[in-house]
């Protein structure tokens, strides 16, 4: 029987999964693109510009914040949202490593 080598970083896997789940919605991607374009935005700017309901915008921002994709900064009575690029980069790096490993496996196999 062939031994299979397994090396899994469970913490990185969990974090990456949460981020990818947060990114897996068209409205959240639209919100992130808006934040990315403007660097730091208030929730009112998001829902007014994107023509979304305030409650829906807040729900999606809550998901993005829980996953660590966006960070907040209070300025007076307003909370501004910005993207945590290091978190997103870690998740895309994990996906990239997975794809690279599987490319090697596919190249080694005779299909």
Q: What is the CATH number for 43?
A: 1.10.10.10
**Domain carrying residue 25:** 21-101
Assess if residue 111 is contained within a domain: no
**What confidence score (pLDDT) does residue 34 get?**
96
Assess if residue 14 is contained within a domain: no
Model-level pTM greater than 0.75? Answer: no
**What confidence score (pLDDT) does residue 80 get?**
94
Domain count, the chain: 1
Per-residue pLDDT of the chain (111 residues; tens, 9 = 90+): 666 665 666 676 677 778 888 888 999 999 999 999 998 999 999 999 999 999 999 999 999 999 999 999 998 988 999 999 887 776 666 666 666 665 544 455 554
**What confidence score (pLDDT) does residue 72 get?**
94
Cα separation of 53 and 55, whole Å? 6
**What confidence score (pLDDT) does residue 22 get?**
86
- For the segment 21-51, what is each residue's pLDDT rounded down to a tens digit? 888 899 999 999 999 999 899 999 999 999 9
Cα separation of 91 and 12, whole Å? 8
Write the CB contacts of 66 (distance below 8 Å, at least 6 apart in sequence). 18, 22
End-to-end CA distance of the chain: 22
**What confidence score (pLDDT) does residue 16 get?**
73
Assess if residue 15 is contained within a domain: no
Assess if residue 45 is contained within a domain: yes
**What confidence score (pLDDT) does residue 92 get?**
67
- Cα 87 off chain centre by: 7
Assess if residue 55 is contained within a domain: yes
Cα separation of 62 and 59, whole Å? 5
Q: Specify the pairing of strand 41-42 against strand 70-75.
A: unpaired
């Amino acid at each position: 029987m062939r031994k299979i080598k397994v090396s899994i970083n469970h913490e990185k896997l969990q974090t990456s999964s949460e981020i990818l789940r947060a990114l897996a919605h068209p409205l959240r991607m639209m919100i992130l693109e808006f934040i990315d374009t403007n660097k730091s935005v208030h929730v009112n700017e998001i829902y007014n510009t994107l023509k979304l309901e305030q409650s829906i915008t807040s729900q999606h921002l809550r998901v993005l914040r829980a996953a660590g994709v966006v960070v907040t900064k209070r300025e007076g009575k307003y909370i501004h949202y910005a993207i945590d690029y290091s978190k997103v980069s870690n998740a895309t790096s994990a996906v990239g490593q997975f794809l690279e490993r599987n490319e090697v496996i596919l190249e080694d196999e005779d299909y």
